[in-house]
Structure 1
Amino acid sequence: MAYEIGKLNHETLLGPVAVAEDALARLDERVARSEVGSGFAERADFFDSVSSMWVAGELVHLEDLVLHDAQMDIRAPSHELVVAHRLVRARRRIVRNDPGWAVSRSGLMALAGIAQEPADEPEEFDRGGEGADVERDDNDILTPELAEIDEVLSKTSWLVDGVAPGAQKTREPEVGIAELLIRDPDWDETDRVAGWLELVKTVEELPATLAAAVLWDAWEHLEPLQRQHWLGQVLVSDFLRSRGKVRSHLLAYSVGLREIPRERRRARDRTSRLMAYLDAMNAAAAAGIRDIDRLSLAKRQLERRVSGKRSTSSLPTAIDVLLSRPIVSAHMVAKAARITPRGALNLIRELNVREITGRGRYRAWGIL
């Protein structure tokens, strides 16, 4: 399965390309020079994750995602929430690596959780250091419980193998029942991923924004990963970072895609789709600039309340937490400032931050 670029309608695409290029350049410069640039980049991870799930047809509450990331869930996390948090972690991992790492084969496989082919004979080496001579105790207290688990697994293995108990197993099934429930055996991920990675090299001659739009259209068309389709947005953002278009942070591309009507994103004409994707970059940049302006104003207002305080005050730490997360709880502020939750509530009350949830318990505050 291949994606043919063919002949692009440059006359129609020239205008949206120029607008997107200019918008991303202005956003990159604002984030690089802004005093709240680092906080904006951290907040973008959450906004992009929620928007990505929205584009995919799933609803994840921003409050639940932030609390889940802080390991302070107030309820059992749903499957959609877990996927959204994986997206947040993937964005952070991409930022920690060099630009272009995500659009390489090794980076894409690492983000998708697909193990590389191991060597034929793994090399054995001596693990020296403290604790190297400690012998393992065979009489472990969990041995009976583990033996019972092994017995249950051996009795129920026929459910996975597809062979009834007592029946003679003539041949090993190619794909087990459990595997069929989560994966399509005819879905050749290796070939699709290879085709998309080859396209990354092909579009190097195109302008950065147009190349990113083509890559996103190809990702939607090829669907290389049948269970990690949400990776496409962050891969496109890292491609823009590798081309030097957005160097200061990882673009929240899904925030812009959310502003584009579905009819445009799913149009039959490829030129119309590419124009929609370019407009999404412009929308993401415009949303980012508005967020930068809002955070800068909020930072100046909050810093006025810190003036005249003692040098050991925890108010600056509370301000940093508020600027780096869309919403915060008292426990999050207490953990960052190393104070009690009661003290965190006093700090929040002194900063006069807006309460978001409207609840009496499990309250949260933020700058939205």
Structure 2
Amino acid sequence: MAFENRGGYYEERLIPRSYDLPELPWAAISGRLETITISVLRFDARLEASGLDAGWQSRCDMTEAVRALILDGHLVDVGDLVLHDAGMDVRHPTHELTRAAAALRTRRTALARKAPWPLSIDGLAALRGIGPVKADAARLRTKARPDPDDDAAYPPYANDADPWAAHLAEIDALLDRTDKVLAGETPLPKSRSHLVYDPDQDEAEAEDLWLDVVKRTSHWPAVAAAAVAWNAWLDLNLYTRLPWLGLIMAASILRARGLTSHLLPLAAGFKQSKFRPQGREGAKEKLEGFCQVLEEALVIATKDLDRLILARELMARVTAKTRSNSKLPQLVELFLSRPLVTVPLGAKLLNVTPKAIDLMLAQLGGALPRELTGRTRYRAWGIV
């Protein structure tokens, strides 16, 4: 038995042994899917042509990590996350901040690897933070004992005349397993508390069902496949302690299908939209809800790109007059890739003194991004 939090209400439900694909009214939704697909393709093309795709994605990842924790009911300041990511915490990291950092690391990992990788068992294992594992090894629950009458089940050294051969071979095998654990190839077994995890929930089976849904919808339109996969993720109650991972996987499906080469801010779109899945919606309503999330995500992404383009044009007028060895263009790139920049942060990342950062900020003049704090001891600027 599993309990799931949807829209603030806990629902008691059973994990199904199989997942049936919904019957979608293709004739009625084809126009809607085509409109959304064209919008995603246009935004992706505009982002690539702007030359700000790397900076936009970096900002998007950080803000998405904060919004993902908001959806889970926790507040994290984006400034704290930026400083924590740079190793410059101004205070001891909280539990919520470490979870936001985990969400940020997951998005970067999903984007750094090739598109189909996040939609595999190894990708799921790595994104949830237990390291890469093989599909067969992840599903082994018990190790069968070898048949005593089967000679092939026992190593040749077991009946060797040298009594030390078997002991030395066992030591070599132990060292080999230890090296694999230290290298991250084999995850350490972790004890799962029944107070936190449901002992009746088989995550490996739920993973197989979800991956099977992704495989069976591989010939569907990309938006419909991502919508069905996200709803299947919610229905199967995958990784209840990582509620934000489902939206990242939906964005990874859009990327794997070639609709976009980036990870769209679906968490921001879900927060802005009015759609809240309750588990009682029909197939068409669920698809329409995901389309609303995707539309809101595109609106937010477009506005952020517009702000970056305008800020770059204003600051480019100043950097065009600087010397060739000036680090002011690097400070501009820092503004374009971070939601927030402080003097110590700029000094560390640009490898200059804080006084040099102060001089460059004064050199920007009216093109300087907005000051966010308004304090004298802790000052930060950002493009908002």
Which category of TM-score, normalised to the shorter sequence, fits these structures? 0.7 to 0.9
Alpha-carbon offset, residue 12 of structure 1: 4.1
- Cα RMSD (Å): 2.2
> What's 1:316 paired with?
329
- The yes-or-no answer on 1:88 pairing with 2:104 is yes
Alpha-carbon offset, residue 299 of structure 1: 0.4
Amino acid at match of 1:269: E
> What's 1:179 paired with?
193
Alpha-carbon offset, residue 245 of structure 1: 0.3
- The yes-or-no answer on 1:268 pairing with 2:284 is no
Alpha-carbon offset, residue 327 of structure 1: 0.7
> What's 2:181 paired with?
none
Alpha-carbon offset, residue 109 of structure 1: 0.9
Amino acid at match of 1:272: E
Alpha-carbon offset, residue 56 of structure 1: 2.5
- The yes-or-no answer on 1:25 pairing with 2:41 is yes
Mapped to 1, the partners of 2:71 and 2:33 lie a distance apart of: 22
Report if aligned partners of 2:106, 2:128 keep a CA contact under 8 Å in 1: no
Instruction: Report the secondary structure of 2:209's partner residue.
Output: helix
Report if aligned partners of 1:30, 1:289 keep a CA contact under 8 Å in 2: no
Mapped to 2, the partners of 1:364 and 1:237 lie a distance apart of: 31
- The yes-or-no answer on 1:290 pairing with 2:303 is yes
- The yes-or-no answer on 1:360 pairing with 2:376 is yes
CA deviation vs aligned residue, 1:291-326 (integer Å, no higher than 9, x gap): 112111110100111222211111001001000001
> What's 1:101 paired with?
117
Amino acid at match of 1:340: T
By relative contact order (CA 8 Å, sep 6+), the higher-ranking structure is: 1
Report if aligned partners of 1:27, 1:285 keep a CA contact under 8 Å in 2: yes
Mapped to 2, the partners of 1:294 and 1:112 lie a distance apart of: 33
Mapped to 2, the partners of 1:309 and 1:7 lie a distance apart of: 61
Report if aligned partners of 2:115, 2:255 keep a CA contact under 8 Å in 1: yes
> What's 1:189 paired with?
203
> What's 1:10 paired with?
26
Q: Which ranges of structure 2 fall in alignment gaps of 5 or more residues?
A: 1-15, 144-169, 177-189
Amino acid at match of 1:308: K
Mapped to 1, the partners of 2:253 and 2:111 lie a distance apart of: 12
CA deviation vs aligned residue, 1:240-288 (integer Å, no higher than 9, x gap): 11100012x22221121111125x4436213222211112112212221
Pair 30,266 (structure 1): closer, same or farther in 2 beyond 3 Å: farther
Residue correspondences, number? 316
Alpha-carbon offset, residue 191 of structure 1: 0.7
> What's 2:294 paired with?
281
Instruction: Report the secondary structure of 1:191's partner residue.
Output: helix
Mapped to 2, the partners of 1:76 and 1:265 lie a distance apart of: 36
Partner residue of 1:56 out of 55, 72, 96: 72
Mapped to 2, the partners of 1:76 and 1:15 lie a distance apart of: 51
Partner residue of 1:252 out of 250, 258, 265: 265
- The yes-or-no answer on 1:71 pairing with 2:87 is yes
Amino acid at match of 1:225: Y
Mean Cα displacement is larger for which, 284-293 or 267-276?
A: 267-276
> What's 1:205 paired with?
219
Alpha-carbon offset, residue 43 of structure 1: 0.7
Mapped to 2, the partners of 1:267 and 1:183 lie a distance apart of: 22
Alpha-carbon offset, residue 20 of structure 1: 1.5
Alpha-carbon offset, residue 232 of structure 1: 1.1
Alpha-carbon offset, residue 114 of structure 1: 3.1
Instruction: Report the secondary structure of 1:205's partner residue.
Output: coil
Mapped to 2, the partners of 1:7 and 1:295 lie a distance apart of: 42
Report if aligned partners of 2:79, 2:340 keep a CA contact under 8 Å in 1: yes
Instruction: Report the secondary structure of 1:204's partner residue.
Output: coil
Instruction: Report the secondary structure of 2:371's partner residue.
Output: coil
Report if aligned partners of 1:16, 1:279 keep a CA contact under 8 Å in 2: no
Partner residue of 1:227 out of 241, 250, 253: 241
CA deviation vs aligned residue, 1:5-36 (integer Å, no higher than 9, x gap): 23113344334322221111111101111122
Mapped to 1, the partners of 2:335 and 2:297 lie a distance apart of: 22
Mapped to 1, the partners of 2:293 and 2:244 lie a distance apart of: 16
